Amino acid sequence: MSKCTAVVGLGSMGGAMAAALLRAGRQVRGFDPSPAARSAAREAGVETVDSVDRLAGTPYVVLSLPSARVVESTLPALLSRAGTLAVVDTTTSEPDTSAACAALAAERGVSFVDAPVSGGRTGAEAGRLTAFVGGTADALTAARPVLDVLTGGQYRHFGGPGAGNVVKLLNNVLAAVNLVAVGEALAVARAHGVDPAAAAAGISGASGGSRASAAMYPDWVLSGTYDSGFALGLMARDAALAVETAERRGEHPRLLAAAGERWQEALAELGPAADFSEIARTVAPTLTS
């Protein structure tokens, strides 16, 4: 079976995934509208093209794009020629868009799975991402050769088209809640004269622990580095999308919505390019001053 793989979107995550696929012995071609992103990919050994249309018909396609709208506008060009077996969309997208894309691909005999990922650039470079997968059983089988390379088998199938993005959005909004809550809690610790780093370590070994207390605050906030590599604008978007996704099905998660509002406030104050760990600057300023 052909190992030819196209990667559309060669930014921080897409570029790292392209490099991981290349190291795994796959033939990789990629596209990104950014000349800088294409240049960086070429330096890593990835062949790049100057138009997404030139990747049409590639047996396997990986999408790593900024939004559902871009996925929606990109897919028809990729399906314009026969030959594609499977499209693996790692974008944190919208469930309804993923379902529509899967239907469009199926009309052309192509498998499509929504497989948004977690693990950051480090996980992407190592081929150790976690993927949240939605799609039919047959589509998952078709996409497995690529998923195995990107995740080392660390993926879970949650159901039909769109299910992967439902769970990924819930994952991200829970991370968003934890970042707000842990920041507020550590600010209280400091107000009482308790070292926030010690408080975070103590909480992380108990029932209140989370990845936010165990790693995010110690590594990125209390260290003063703010270098997670994930933009605040993207987290604010994902938190809002999670709430919108809930409301479309008649659910009204008040705590998630309240946290989402805090992220919108931080977005307005710090801008979309700030690191997402910088939410601490607005929810716990005594930790960052």
Find out whether 113 and 135 touch, Cβ atoms under 8 Å.
Answer: yes
Q: Comparing C-alpha atoms, which of 165, 158, 144 is closest to residue 68?
A: 165
pLDDT of residue 1: 55
Catalytic choice (26, 38, 168, 262) = 168
- The token pair at 76 is 């028809």
* Phi, psi values for residue 152, rounded to 5°: 60, 30
Q: Tell me the three state secondary structure of residue 104.
A: helix
Question: Rounded to 5 degrees, what angle do the CA atoms 162, 120, 19 make?
Answer: 95
What's the CA gap between 227 and 51, in Å, rounded?
32
What's the CA gap between 128 and 149, in Å, rounded?
8
- The token pair at 260 is 């989402």
Bridge partners of 61? 6, 87
CATH of domain 4-160: 3.40.50.720
Write out the chain's pLDDT in tens, 289 residues: 578 999 999 998 999 999 999 999 999 999 999 999 999 999 999 999 999 999 999 999 999 999 999 999 999 999 999 999 999 999 999 999 999 999 999 999 999 999 999 988 889 999 999 999 999 999 999 999 999 999 999 999 999 999 999 999 999 999 999 999 999 999 999 999 999 999 999 999 999 999 999 999 999 999 999 999 899 999 999 999 999 999 999 999 999 999 999 999 999 999 999 999 999 999 999 999 7
Find out whether 225 and 138 touch, Cβ atoms under 8 Å.
Answer: no
User: The whole model's pTM is what?
Assistant: 0.92
pLDDT of residue 68: 95
Q: Tell me the three state secondary structure of residue 112.
A: strand
In the CATH scheme, what is the homologous superfamily, with its name and number, of domain 165-288? N-(1-d-carboxylethyl)-l-norvaline Dehydrogenase; domain 2 (1.10.1040.10)
Instruction: Please tell me the total number of residues recorded for the chain in this structure.
Output: 289
In this structure, what DSSP letter does residue 214 have?
A: I
Helix (H) or strand (E) holding 186: helix 163-191
Question: Rounded to 5 degrees, what angle do the CA atoms 20, 21, 26 make?
Answer: 145
What's the CA gap between 243 and 4, in Å, rounded?
38
**In the annotation, is 168 catalytic?**
yes
Residue boundaries of the structural domains of the chain:
4-160, 165-288
Q: Which residues contact 47 (CB under 8 A, 6 or more apart)?
A: 28, 29, 30
Q: Comparing C-alpha atoms, which of 192, 172, 189 is closest to residue 239?
A: 172
In this structure, what DSSP letter does residue 158 have?
A: E
What's the CA gap between 89 and 27, in Å, rounded?
18
Find out whether 17 and 124 touch, Cβ atoms under 8 Å.
Answer: yes
What's the CA gap between 29 and 24, in Å, rounded?
14
Q: What is the 3-state secondary structure (H, E, C) of 42-72?
A: HHCCCEECCCHHHHCCCCEEEECCCCHHHHH
